[in-house]
Structures are given as structure tokens and as C-alpha cells.
Amino acid sequence: MSACRILLTAFTLSVAAAFAPPLLRAQEAPAAADVETKSPVVGVINANNVFVHSAPRDAAYPTMKLDKGAEVTVVGMKNDWLKIVPPAGSFSYYPKMAVQLHGDGKVAKVIQSTNVRAGSVLQPVKVAVQTKLDEGADVTILGEQDEYYKIAPPAGAFLWIHEKSVDAVRRLKPEEAAKPEVAIAKTASNDAAPSSGEHAAAETPSDPRPNQFAMDPGPATTQSAPESAPSATQPAQAAANLGFDELEAEFKAAGEKPITEQPIDQLTQGYQALAGSGQLSNLEKRVVDARLSALKTRTSMRDDFVNVKKAQEQLRERQKSLQAEREEIDDRIKQKNVTIYAAVGTLRTSSLQQGETTLYRLTDPSTGRTLVYLRTNEPKYAALLNKFVGVKGDLNNDEQLNLKVIAPTAAEAVDPAKVNTTVAAQIIPPSMLPRATEASTGNQ
């Protein structure tokens, strides 16, 4: 057994003797509780690359590594783990929203009471709760990361190291223990969130009976009562704290992705579960409300974006279909060498002459009825009179004449026999329409 454990086991056994029932004393002492003392012990690391942990268990994330010969100040123990003052280089996390900077920006005042979390120089995690600060407390700013400030570990913030890695050297003298860097926060706030199953307990006087395990009794010591069974709300509190940090990390990561790739629905469900847990601090509640509001906006933006993309895709598909149909028609026209006109018919003069432009008319060769009018002063149209012609140009309505009029761009004589085969037009004389079409119409 290590010297540190020998020094501190005395407190555990005396607590067990004082509070255990007679039957238990007669059999076997209980497992070591979380013990604290007013006489801290200086220990020395006995190996290289020793991990300091955020909680008293191997699975707790490491905060730093110490090499052989480094000193630590032991203020308590739990089972095989030593509770130590955070070594040099340690830091904690505190939300930026919960403090107000003042002076040169290196000191901040707490404006919202919430949890202090253990920082790590080895990985960017901020899960383990160390203690809780009250409004008005000052913190020293060391840096920042995401929505948190890195702060000097405040009183009541401790770390853990396995007893096998530490050899006891000596107890601190009262005047040494009073120094700020090794001060022990014996009266930490009762509402401070427990770290990884830690439970604060009131101090009781040590058992006055001598204990053969104590190397050096040193000054009078005190220890905490045996660890009581955790309340039903403590596991829920730990789960809520863990979920909050995980969701915050996912929320930040989601903001760096396109709106359609963000896990908005999952984040919303997670924050809604946290909001209904009843285990959040006031600051965390405000953060959760803000996140839910932001996620609601993102949901609306995502849905609008998806709908627009869907409409655009449908439009593109329709345009592709129309383009394919147009190309198919063009191919057929090319294969059949079809010439398309605005209108075909026999060109005749018109008795309706108004203005300075000559008015012609295209007629049905069988009935002589007017199909459409042409307005032009080009001499070549006079040479095409009484001939069956095809006319190209834009077809419009003349508001003054209340007639369909073409402003021709080209005209030429056409073989009437080729109409409906290699000659096509928007306006075709009724007498020249395909008989199959007329028969079909008659059967309807």
C-alpha cells in the first residue's frame, strides 16, 4: 500500500468505525468513502506519463500527463484514487454567457451561477463537473474555446490521480496549506453539481482512538461522513449535463454544414428532451431555449430550400421533356424536308386599303374565302397575285381592322399538292385539311 494511502486510510477507517452499525463493525470495514483532510499531503509522481483524470475512475477523460518527480498536493481520496489540487497547467471551463469581463479582460465576474467543468490539454472535452460558482465570484481568464472561457481552476475544483502513481513525501504545515494554490474549499456550495458521482458530506471529528496505520498524525484532521446513497435526481442531473455538452458540440458542428445536411430534427428532439428534464441551470435553460428557436428557423429554411429545389428539379425535367419533344419534331421535319409557313393560300388583292401600306389577302383556292391578310409594300408580291403561295412572318391581330394580319418576311409559290406532306403552316385552307381528320371529327 502506498504511503499516501496509508496516511489517508486512517480517516476512512475512523469514519467507518464511528458510523457503521455494531454488526458491520464486527465483520468488516466498508469500502473507503470520499475523505478530505485539513492537513494536505505532498506527493511525488513515481513514473513517467502518468495521467491526471477528471473523475475518480479509469474511464474518466484525462486532463494532462505528469512525469516522474512532479509534485502534487493530495487533499483526499476515494477508493484507489487520490483527490488533488489541479497541478500547474490545469484549467477549467466556464460559459462565456455566465460572466462579465472587466479591467484588462483577464478577470471576469460571475453573473449567472452554473457549473465549472474540467478542462483537458489532451482533448477538447468539457463534460466533468468540478464545482459550481455563485453570482459575484471572480474568475481568472486564461483563454477561450467555443462558447466557453478557459479559467484558472477555482476553489473547490479538484482532479484525480491513481494512488499507485504517487508516493507520499510529507504533510503540509498549516501556513503552507493556507496558501491560495493549495487552499481547500471545505464549505463549497451545497448546490454544486457532483462530479462523476461525488457527493459532498458534512465534516465530523475524527475518531479519538489511535490508529496503527497513520504514519504521522500531524495536525488535527477531519473527514467527511460515509458517502450516502445518491438521490434519484443525481443520475438524471449527470445525464442532462452530459447531453447538454454533446448537443452543444453537435450544434456547432452542424452549423458548418449545408442546411440540408444538418441533423436538425435530431438536435431539436435532443434539446426538447433537455428542456423537459428539469435538471438544467438557469443559464443552460436560456441556451436551450435559444437553440430551439434557432433550430425552428433552420427547419423552416431547410423545408423552403427543399421545396424550391424540388420545384426547380421538376421544371428542369419538364424543360428536358419539351426540349426532347422539340428535337424529335425537328428531326422528323428534317427527315421529311418539311417547309413551315405562317399561312398558305391563293394571294389576292384586298378592297380594304387603309394607310400607306398595301393590304393583300390569302384565300381558300376552292371557296375564295379570306384566311388572313398581308400588309406590305414590296413589289414582288404583285408578281405573286393569283398564285398559291406560302408566307412566312409574324401573325398578329390588327385592332383597327379587327382582322388577322401577317407582316411577311418571305413569300414564294408553293405546290398545293405538297400541303400536309412537305409543306406545313399555321393557317391552312379548310378545303385542304386532311380528310381523315374531317372523318374523325365527324364520328365524334
- How is 200-244 classified by DSSP, letter by letter? ---EEEPP-S--TT-S---S--EEEPPPPPPPTHHHHHHHHHHHH
Looking at residue 264, its pLDDT comes to 92
Q: Are 370 and 361 in contact (CB under 8 A)?
A: yes
How many C-beta neighbours within 10 Å does residue 309 have?
11
Amino acid type, 317? E
Cell numbers found for residue 35:
475523505
DSSP alpha helix (H) spans, 337-387: 380-383
Q: Could you tell me where the beta strands, DSSP code E, fall in 54-192?
A: 62-66, 71-78, 81-84, 92-95, 99-102, 107-110, 114-118, 129-133, 138-145, 148-151, 159-162, 166-171
Q: Can you give the pLDDT at residue 331?
A: 78
> Contact 416/388 with Cβ under 8 angstroms?
yes
Amino acid at 104: D
- Please give the pLDDT value at position 8: 54
pLDDT of amino acid 405: 92
User: What pLDDT score does 435 carry?
Assistant: 72
pTM: 0.42
For each of the chain's 444 residues, which pLDDT tens digit applies? 555 555 555 444 433 343 333 333 333 334 445 666 557 888 999 999 999 999 998 888 999 999 999 999 998 888 889 999 999 999 999 999 999 998 888 999 999 999 999 999 998 888 889 999 999 999 999 999 888 999 999 999 999 999 999 998 888 776 666 665 554 433 333 333 333 333 333 333 333 333 322 334 444 444 444 444 444 444 444 444 447 877 888 898 888 889 889 999 989 988 888 888 877 888 888 899 999 999 999 999 999 999 998 899 899 999 998 998 888 877 776 766 788 899 999 999 988 877 788 899 999 999 999 999 998 999 999 999 999 999 999 998 887 778 889 999 999 999 999 998 888 999 999 999 887 544 444 444
Each residue's pLDDT tens digit, 52-89: 999 998 888 999 999 999 999 998 888 889 999 999 99
Residue 384: what pLDDT? Answer: 94
Read off the pLDDT of residues 162-219 as tens digits, 9 standing for 90 and up. 999 999 888 877 666 666 555 443 333 333 333 333 333 333 333 333 332 233 444 4
Neighbouring CB atoms inside 10 A of 158's CB total 27
